Amino acid sequence: MTNYLIEQGYRYGDFEAHNGLWRMTLDTDYDVLARMALVPRVLEARGLDATPKIQKRFMHSEFNAMVGILDIIFFDEINHVKIGNTWFHYLCKQRNIEPLSAFDKLVKKHIGNKLRGSFNIEARKLANFSKQELEYLERI
């Protein structure tokens, strides 16, 4: 990815989108539970939703090399989200908190009503989102 960006005349960080993860990391530095709820389970998971659509746009463009690059990132991202889900649920259990309502509160606090689909349900299942969590997302 880095090499491809350089070939196109850019560097990582040149695009505003690259900053969102870092901004949310800072916003959630008060609690690891908030960070696990929002960085992997919302922002990185958003990558799972968006990647297939982005790949379609790149497929017949001069940037079609991006399709294969995004495949690699997509499968990496499934694991990042899965790890976030594992830690989020671990922390909820440790604190005796109901995960879905904790997630809902944190989404409302940090994202408000900007969390919208469509959601890549198959990829999110691979990343261990539960049926209950997927139903929550589909109600949004």
Q: Which residues bind Fe ion (CB under 5 A)?
A: 44, 77, 80
Report DSSP state, residue 43: I
34-37 long-range contacts (CB < 8 A, ≥24 apart) are 34/106, 34/109, 34/110, 36/84, 36/87, 36/88, 36/91, 37/88, 37/102, 37/103, 37/106, 37/107
State residue 79 phi and psi, 5-degree precision: -70, -35
Number of residue whose CB is nearest Fe ion: 80
Distance of CA 131 to the CA centre of its chain: 18
The alpha helices in 29-64, defined as continuous H runs, are 32-38, 45-59
In the bound state with Fe ion, the residue whose beta carbon lies nearer, of 45 and 91, is 45
> How near is the Cβ of 127 to Fe ion at its closest, in Å?
11
The residue count of the chain comes to 140
In the bound state with Fe ion, the residue whose beta carbon lies nearer, of 31 and 76, is 76
In the bound state with Fe ion, the residue whose beta carbon lies nearer, of 97 and 115, is 115
In the bound state with Fe ion, the residue whose beta carbon lies nearer, of 50 and 97, is 50
> How near is the Cβ of 96 to Fe ion at its closest, in Å?
29
> How near is the Cβ of 60 to Fe ion at its closest, in Å?
27
> How near is the Cβ of 87 to Fe ion at its closest, in Å?
14
> How near is the Cβ of 47 to Fe ion at its closest, in Å?
7
In the bound state with Fe ion, the residue whose beta carbon lies nearer, of 77 and 133, is 77
- Determine contact, residues 129/85, Cβ cutoff 8 Å: yes
